[in-house]
Amino acid sequence: EAMPKLVEARNESIKNINDIIDEFKTIHYAFQNEDLDVLPADHIIANFKNL
């Protein structure tokens, strides 16, 4: 009974971690390429507030 819920919670955690990693990759890309237009500040702030 508990196992499916644990698996579901684990999968959700992994998804959230992957979303965070993607966010950092976007930021890293922008700074590496000095292409800060890729990153509206509102976009970054909104995403990190949601974590």
Q: Are 26 and 39 in contact (CB under 8 A)?
A: yes
pTM higher than 0.75, yes or no? no
- At 20, the pLDDT band (50, 70, 90 cuts) reads confident
Alpha carbons 34 and 46: distance in angstroms, whole number: 21
Which residue range(s) make up the domain with 24?
2-49
- At 38, the pLDDT band (50, 70, 90 cuts) reads low
Alpha carbons 44 and 23: distance in angstroms, whole number: 8
Percentage, residues of the chain above pLDDT 90: 20
* Exposure on the CB side of residue 35, measured as CA atoms within 13 A: 7
How many domains are contained in the chain? 1
